[in-house]
Structure 1
Amino acid sequence: MISFLLVSHSKKITDGLKEMIDEMSLNKDNITTFSIGGTKDGRLGTDPIAIYEAIEMRKMDDAIFIFTDLGSAVLSSETAVDMIDDELKQKVHIVDCALVEGAFIAAVQINGVDCLEQVLNELKTI
């Protein structure tokens, strides 16, 4: 099982992207998608605690991919990863690519590859 954490300053962006991935992914049984956009009180922003909680909730997964939009989303994701234990950190990948395109392409490509590193390398070109 692989989890996709979609981190954006806007909940509307991550909710829409989650819907698109969940609807169009060929690998629905092996990918779990989480919308982690905005702040808990509904404003624009990111929440490292929400990201941390999602990581901890999925710690039994084979891998956790974190897709982000802007710089502070990356910082919030890095803060969340800093809070987890070293063993779990090995499974977590903050993916350096465009949020929408990268997450969608990864959801489609993961179905046909044996190596997650191959997917991560391809996402670097997006």
Structure 2
Amino acid sequence: MKKIIAILGICSVIFACGSEKSESTEETSSTTKTEEAAPATAAVGSATGEKLISTSDCLTCHQVNSKIVGPSYVDVANKYPATDENIAMLAGKIIQGGSGNWGEIPMAPHPAISTEDATEMVKYILSLKTN
């Protein structure tokens, strides 16, 4: 049963990754739970990173506080200190994909995301550190 769920998860990732950034330009003025949960010492650029994530397919597999297909953003932030080296490495994982660090299910590559955008996304994610 776990293998079937994993395969379905991978298929949904592949399907979701085929789409580019959302073409929607709607903006909302409401505060999200993510904004409320972000610590006061959030990394510079984290608001940009949060917006980039919200307009990408990232939320198909990741959530701020709970594991879906991939780890929660809080789990990622708690695992990796916000160093320049880790930011560059994680931005590379967003663009090139990866596997093995969080289990058997690989993260699909996102080659359409620029290094600059991936870096901002990672800065936002690492700003969510809780411990």
TM-score (norm 2): 0.27
Higher RCO structure, 1 or 2 (CA under 8 Å, sep 6+): 2
When Rg is computed on C-alpha atoms for both structures, the one with the higher figure is: 2
